Amino acid sequence: MATVGLKDIVKVYGRHIAVRGVDLEIQDKSFTVFVGPSGCGKSTMLRMIAGLEIISHGEMRLDGKIVNDTPPRERGVAMVFQSYALYPHKTVRQNLEFSLKLEKLPPDQIASRVNKAVNLLEIEPYLDRKPAQLSGGQRQRVAMGRAIVREPKVFLFDEPLSNLDAKLRNQMRIEIKKLQRRLQVTTIYVTHDQVEAMTLADVIVVMRDGVIEQSGTPMQIFESPANQFIAGFIGTPQMNFFAGSVSMSRGVATFVGEGFKLPISKSRFGTGFEEGQNLTAGFRPEDIVPQERSKSAKLSADFLSAIGFTEMLGNETLLFSSYAGTEFVSRMAQPRFVAQDEIMKFKFNVEKMHLFDGDTGMSIRAA
């Protein structure tokens, strides 16, 4: 049972402010992922939660109790690093036992905890090997085992999968999720990879420049990003953006881009528009829909564009093109071969349009 409360947390390194006032309540047994570009303060947050960095200002609570001055060992948290941080001269078994021996646990308890972790992680065959004799994935398992044997109240992960190849990364990601579900331990996970964030998190916390830009469930963040930065950061390929402005006619607002006009729904975006206001329209790749020739007679295409290049992924094809000087990518759900320079028709799925203030980048939504 562990909740983590962060109140106005600040971290200052000399004259550099790495974290500028973070407020967050982390629920018991939840999986929270901090995501954001490199340097935004994710590791600093995690290290403060672990007790490895002094909190410059603010309050951190574990189960309601202030722990700012509690040393790492007494916080009941265990951290897994990208670099694994295993002892190279110890065997896997010795690596797993080490922290428990330091805590002077009785030998039978040590054996029982180690066995439990070994079974959970299926690392029995490597117990007598040294880290250098293990693959990256095996090392990562041992690093997790070392956290599990401590039976912590909170698991902390700092980009644990960054050193693995793509296939193994996907596999380990699923294992971490399963493990957390099984152990029901409050988990805080840091990554710059938005796919990891989307797939692992109960709650995603998007950070930028030392502040939380938005927190919410993966679907909330994906469907209702608070601003253009988050809209572009979450989702692959990223959301396409088109600059434009508002044209008002008898109280009805229209988005006017380079060479196209789109209606602005009052129910989705409200009524607070004025003539000439700068806007940015956002469409995810699946919402710029290629119109197949065979059907084109029935559909009114919004624009024509020559295909620059394609990525055929088997189950879908990504079409890279540009329109009126704006590059965009469209997702073709029913792929066929598309030649380079082929002219295709595209239609915006207006119901899925996002709108951002052209000056501040903030999302526009009906109140």
Ligand X SMILES: Nc1ncnc2c1ncn2[C@@H]1O[C@H](COP(=O)(O)OP(=O)(O)O)[C@@H](O)[C@H]1O
For Mg ion, the binding residues (CB under 5 A) are 43
Query: Residue 32 binds which one of ligand X, Mg ion, none, with CB within 5 to 8 A depending on kind?
Result: none
Residue nearest to Mg ion (CB): 43
Considering the complex, what minimum distance in angstroms separates the CB of residue 131 from Mg ion?
22
The residue among 38 and 300 lying less far from ligand X, judged by its C-beta, is 38
Minimal distance, residue 21 CB to ligand X, in Å: 14
Contacted by 40, from Mg ion, ligand X, none: CB < 5 to 8 Å by type: ligand X
Output the smallest distance, CB 362 to ligand X, in A.
23
Q: Given the complex with ligand X, which of 44 and 280 has the nearer CB atom?
A: 44
Q: State the minimum distance, in angstroms, from the CB of residue 190 to ligand X.
A: 6
Instruction: Kindly tell me which of 42 and 354 has the beta carbon lying closer to ligand X.
Output: 42
Min separation Cβ 36 and ligand X, Å: 6
Residue 44 touches which of ligand X, Mg ion, none (Cβ within 5-8 Å per kind) = ligand X
Shortest Cβ distance from residue 193 to Mg ion (Å)?
A: 12
Applying CB under 6 A, which residues contact ligand X?
Answer: 13, 16, 18, 36, 38-44
Of the two residues 148 and 206, which places its CB atom closer to ligand X in the complex?
Answer: 206
- Which of residues 41 and 152 has its CB atom nearest to Mg ion in the complex? 41
Q: For residue 209, what are the CA distances in angstroms to 41, 246, 288, 325?
A: 7, 31, 31, 30
Q: Which does 38 bind (CB under 5 to 8 A by kind): ligand X, Mg ion, none?
A: ligand X
Q: Is the CB of 43 or the CB of 194 nearer to Mg ion?
A: 43
